[in-house]
Amino acid sequence: MNLTHKKILLGIAGGIAAYKACELVRRLRDAGADIRVVMTENATRFVTPLTLQALSGNPVRVSLWDEEHEAAMGHIELARWADAILIAPASADMMARLAAGMADDLLSTLCLASEAPLLLAPAMNRVMWAHPATRANAQILLSRGIQLFGPGSGAQACGELGEGRMLEPLELVQRLAVAISPPSNPIGDAALFGKRVVITAGATREAIDPVRFISNRSSGRMGYAVAEAARDAGAEVVLISGVTSLPAPQDVTRIEVETALHMREAVMQAMPCDIFIGTAAVADYRPTETALQKIKKNADTLTLELVKNPDILSEVAALALRPFTVGFAAETEHLLDHARAKLQRKKLDMIAANLVSEGRAFDQADNALTILWGDSQIELPQADKRLLAQQLIQIIAQRVTQRA
């Protein structure tokens, strides 16, 4: 965990967890970071600026109307200075104001005026965290690429038990180091230069008649993000896409397909390749027959007979000239057991497992993945799909290099 020479702007919002910010400043300094602290007015009711000034070794800013600092547009300077902004604790109110793009105090103004990565450590009462307004604000923030660290669950300062506790300072420093350290995010450094990567994305449609079909909720977002991350890592990318409203990513060859059989044909034509990543939600079954005309609703019941589709991923993994083969597992329960079983049954090199129950993953801007291979596993916590895709590509690149 190394933050040497990293310029960290620590924002502290008003909440009882503000007391943990003192320990956080110490841990950040231990990791080598240069810290400037900005507090909201409410935060100063929980812990004094003087304490944080002593701990950080730098003056603490609270007001946007500080004549001494603002004579030289101090807030813009601070916004440009930061390598990353971490707000811990991030209260429900802070999250709401950031989601709304407000700039009514120094901290919110800095967040709006900075291009540095913004990372939040939410901390609030469990009911506030579960409230639809907070959930919606969290979604907005995640969709903008802002990372949320936590919250954790357990005993809360208000005496209740549940989700909403701020993560411990040490864990926050670890998460921050992973999120902003160049070695853990080397997508720009051509990690897949010279590799041909074939990726499937989105849902297939299996026609019942000329106007109806069987499909699923996949939007293609995860697969398109993976294609962009592979392209950014220097790979030549072929994206075989089911039906989606997403535009084709630049500098990626997109092949549009509709059914599982079309997808299989396109995948086999795109072989050989170095890496195959199956993010598509391929329909497991298709109607045995497609009616040539629209089926009339004369009968009270209608029985459809379905036949199994080929498993494209297994077929790729079984090729004589086999690429490094990565599957996805979409599960509503027993995530890791089912994913590990798929890893073995389909003879994959790696699988990315995601929970898809209760509105998760499908057609969302964010997701959470557990990456499994051999006996190893890595958790990629809830984040924007573009960030997850970069992390996944980085892990794949490392494994491919180790195997070569």
Q: Which residues are part of the catalytic machinery? A: 158
Footprint (CB under 6 A) of ligand PMT, residues 282-321: 282, 284, 309, 311-313
Cβ contact 31:177 at 8 Å: yes
**Per-residue binding letters, 232-261, with ligand PMT (x by CB under 6 A):** ----------------------------x-
User: Does position 278 bind ligand PMT by CB under 6 A?
Assistant: yes
Tokens of 198: 């074939």
Cβ contact 112:101 at 8 Å: yes
List of residues 6+ apart from 108 with CB closer than 8 A: 94, 97, 98, 102
C-alpha distances in angstroms, 241 versus 50, 245, 248, 260, 282? 56, 11, 9, 11, 11
User: Does position 218 bind ligand PMT by CB under 6 A?
Assistant: yes
| Residue selected from 14, 150, 220, 249 as contacting ligand PMT according to rule CB under 6 A | 220
User: Does position 164 bind ligand PMT by CB under 6 A?
Assistant: no
Footprint (CB under 6 A) of ligand PMT, residues 186-205: 200, 202
| Residue selected from 17, 233, 356, 387 as contacting ligand PMT according to rule CB under 6 A | 356
Q: Which is nearer to ligand PMT, 361 or 380 (CB)?
A: 361
Cβ contact 176:119 at 8 Å: yes
Q: Which is nearer to ligand PMT, 3 or 356 (CB)?
A: 356
| Residue selected from 3, 146, 166, 222 as contacting ligand PMT according to rule CB under 6 A | 222
- How many other CB atoms are found less than 10 A from the CB of residue 145? 15
Q: Which of 245, 196, 253, 246 is nearest to 225 (CA)?
A: 246
User: Does position 17 bind ligand PMT by CB under 6 A?
Assistant: no
DSSP 200: E
Q: Which is nearer to ligand PMT, 230 or 280 (CB)?
A: 280
User: Does position 354 bind ligand PMT by CB under 6 A?
Assistant: yes
Of the candidate spans 27-35, 178-186, 218-226, 250-258, the one that interacts with ligand PMT by CB under 6 A turns out to be 218-226
Q: Which of 355, 404, 337, 395 is nearest to 371 (CA)?
A: 395
- How many other CB atoms are found less than 10 A from the CB of residue 50? 10
Q: Which is nearer to ligand PMT, 36 or 342 (CB)?
A: 342
Q: Which is nearer to ligand PMT, 34 or 206 (CB)?
A: 206
| Residue selected from 27, 97, 342, 399 as contacting ligand PMT according to rule CB under 6 A | 342
Q: Which residues pair with 328 in a beta bridge?
A: 352
Of the candidate spans 21-29, 58-66, 158-166, 324-332, the one that interacts with ligand PMT by CB under 6 A turns out to be 324-332
Of the candidate spans 102-110, 166-174, 206-214, 216-224, the one that interacts with ligand PMT by CB under 6 A turns out to be 216-224
C-alpha distances in angstroms, 295 versus 216, 288, 302? 21, 15, 10
Residue type, 84: A
Three-class SS string for 55-104? HHCCCCECCCCCHHHHCCCHHHHHHHHCCEEEEEEECHHHHHHHHCCCCC
User: Does position 328 bind ligand PMT by CB under 6 A?
Assistant: yes
Residues that bind ligand PMT (CB under 6 A): 200, 202, 218-223, 260, 278-282, 284, 309, 311-313, 327-330, 342, 354, 356, 361-363
